[in-house]
Amino acid sequence: MKVKFGPVEENIVTREEFSLSKAKEILKKEVIAVLGYGVQGPGQSLNLRDNGFQVIIGQRKNSFSWEKALKDGWIEGKNLFSLEEACKRGTIIMYLLSDAGQISFWPTLCKFLHHGKSLYFSHGFGLTFCEKTKIYPPKDIDIFLVAPKGSGTSLRRLFKEGKGINSSYAVYQDYSGNCLEKTISIGIGIGSGYLFETNFKNEVYSDLVGERGTLMGAIQGIFAAQYQILRDKGHSPSESFNETVEELTQSLMPLVSENGMDWMYSNCSTTAQRGALDWWKKFMDATLPIFQELYDEVSSGKEAERIIKSNIDKNYRNKLQKELKDLRESELWKVGSTIRNLRPEKKES
């Protein structure tokens, strides 16, 4: 259907117009091989399996993710195989390895991408930055993308609650003539709330900007700055954390999600309303140049180059653990851990 978002009309697909039964009928002869069982793999594969699709997992044997797949009920030799065997058996290859993993496994995968196969992504990185990743797919297969707008954990949790997370979709190469139907069918199958149209380049640009911006990078920077100011001015750790993180995540953001920012503003005190309305544009003016710089770095490919160089470093995992340890052991998030354990639901469980 066509839906107008502000001044722009976009293509949107909902479960009402494209039912699960229709999706299953379209993919009834397909074997969906999910390569990778890390971030998106578990949520997407389990949702597809629970929805009645024919799904197999491809994963490196005896790895942490292999053991996780076994715990989730996948059975070796039945629906859990090596990466190579899953590539051989699958007709739709869901390429859900990490970006670095996709680069290293590509020379192997491309040997299995013969006529009649389909290649699926949940991120536009590999093909958009193909000059850096060296991922050049064959011309006689369907290539498409469905990208849930959230983590695989959230995708699975919302699915089990009978809800759904929004996803973008894109067709990169329609060799068969019915690639779009396959794309939407997978999107419905993994539990998308609704699907909105994009392309591979726009998906990866918006995704990288979002991760580095309001979704993760910017929000952590803002949390750290406000917490530090409050502590420097003599406020206690618990007060500083509650006013910086807890009230936002536990109270205000759920209201924004349910009703919008204007509703949340109108249901706060007049003091809070006035301050927020007076200050939000100052924050926008301060951060707009940073977001412009960020988008330029992403669209130029410089950010992708840094990602690839960093992720293929043999010491990447050790460096990552050090950075995450520093974050975890900062006063801000030590306080956060204590406060989370004081929530009533923790005691009731």
**Marked catalytic residue, from 114, 115, 123, 235:** 123
Span 77-89, pLDDT tens digits: 999 999 999 999 9
Task: Give the integer Cα–Cα distance in Å for 128 and 131.
Answer: 8
> What pLDDT digit, counting tens, does each position of 37-94 carry?
998 999 999 999 999 999 999 999 989 999 999 999 999 999 999 999 999 999 999 9
Q: Residue 75 has what pLDDT?
A: 97
pLDDT of residue 212: 96
Please write the tens of the pLDDT for every residue from 237-249: 999 999 999 999 9
How confident is the model at residue 346, as a pLDDT? 58
Closest CA to 182 of 191, 192, 198, 170: 170
Q: Round the average pLDDT of the chain to a whole number and report it.
A: 94
pLDDT tens digits, one per residue of 125-138: 999 999 999 999 99
Span 187-195, average pLDDT:
95
Neighbours of 28 (CB within 10 A): 11
Residue 52: name the closest of 26, 18, 83 by CA. 26
Decide if 235 is catalytic.
Answer: no
Q: CA–CA distance from 245 to each of 113, 169, 271, 317, 337 (Å)?
A: 47, 33, 20, 28, 12
Prediction pTM value: 0.91
CA gap 175, 170 in Å, rounded: 14
Q: Write down the pLDDT at residue 345.
A: 74
What average pLDDT does the segment 286-299 reach?
A: 97
| Residue 348 predicted with pLDDT over 70 | no
What does the CA dihedral 24, 27, 31, 37 come to, rounded to 10 degrees?
-60
pLDDT at 349: 52
